[in-house]
Amino acid sequence: MNFSIYSLITAIFVGGISGYLGSLMVTKKMSLVGDAMGHIALPGMGLALLFGHNVSLGAFAFLLLGVWVIWYLEPKTNLPTETLVGIIFVFSLAIGFFVTPDLELLEALFGDILKISTFDFWMAVSTSSIIFFGIRKIYPKLMLGFLSEDLAISNGINIKKYNFLYLLAIASIVALGVKVVGSLLVGALAIIPAAAARKISKNISQYTLFAGVIGALSCAIGTIVSNTYSLSAGPTVILVSISFFTVTLLLKNDVKTKISV
């Protein structure tokens, strides 16, 4: 397996799970949370680059801290999750710019999937698989909690627990996604495929499936195009994803969605 194949497979796994998780983010009307999470990861990425450590691990460390703070403060402040994420987001962004080395700043902001290491590859494949099967198992409970917290509580669902697992899944995907498209664009990796899938899906099952497929295809095609024409991988992936979304807009009159999100 050569270097470019590592990059391609990593992109497919990360794009697929990002789109799948994005379907939940759009359902919960938290589309901007993934984008904000990418900025929360920036200080960890900066410190990892500064001291020569793995960028994804550095990002995940700060994301884990951010998720814990959001999860801890939400019930105590009665503020919406997106509000707390926004506060921590701007704080992290400011710190990140101070600690990220100037030479590596562009890579931190826009990613470089073509520099994937063997460790990055196996981490992406294993983490994506764990998140997919884990979220799939608790998907009905998450969806019920998103649509009606009162109904979920009456059915014995621990909302606080599942919200934490949901945020942890987002943090993990963002930590992987920063290698593909960077901290600046990682939110779009989840949001755009989900938005495109919503336009052409007739039910929830199709919605999650199409979101994952569009995410995987966007990353795969973007990686191939960027490698072929020596373009920046992150922006190329997002532009391909936007192309898929544009196509679904043209098809919207032919497909009547039945998804209540």
Q: 126-158, pLDDT tens digit by residue?
A: 999 999 999 988 888 887 877 777 888 888 888
Instruction: Give helix 233-251 / helix 159-181 axis angle, nearest 10°.
Output: 120
Quote the longest CA-to-CA distance of the chain: 55
Query: Whose CA is closest to 10, among 115, 138, 155?
Result: 115
Q: Tokens for 139?
A: 């998907």
Rounded CA-CA distance 219/10 in Å is: 9
Q: What is the mean pLDDT of residues 223-246?
A: 90
> Among the listed ranges 44-48, 96-100, 108-112, which one has the minimum average pLDDT value?
108-112
Residue 19 has pLDDT above 90, yes or no: yes
**For the chain, what is the mean pLDDT?**
82
Q: Tokens for 260?
A: 């209540």
Residue 181 has pLDDT above 60, yes or no: yes
State the pLDDT confidence band at 245, using cuts at 50, 70 and 90.
very high
Rounded CA-CA distance 261/246 in Å is: 20
Rounded CA-CA distance 201/189 in Å is: 19
State the pLDDT confidence band at 1, using cuts at 50, 70 and 90.
very low
pLDDT digits (tens, 9 = 90+) for 103-128: 666 666 667 777 778 888 898 899 99
Rounded CA-CA distance 155/239 in Å is: 42
Residue 256 has pLDDT above 50, yes or no: no
Q: What is the mean pLDDT of residues 67-93?
A: 79
* Predicted local confidence at residue 103, as pLDDT: 62
Query: Whose CA is closest to 42, among 103, 102, 89, 112?
Result: 89
Sign of the CA dihedral running 204, 151, 187, 242: positive
Residue 102 has pLDDT above 50, yes or no: yes
Instruction: Give helix 81-99 / helix 31-40 axis angle, nearest 10°.
Output: 30
- The answer to whether the pTM exceeds 0.85 is no
Domains of the chain: 3-251 (1.10.3470.10)
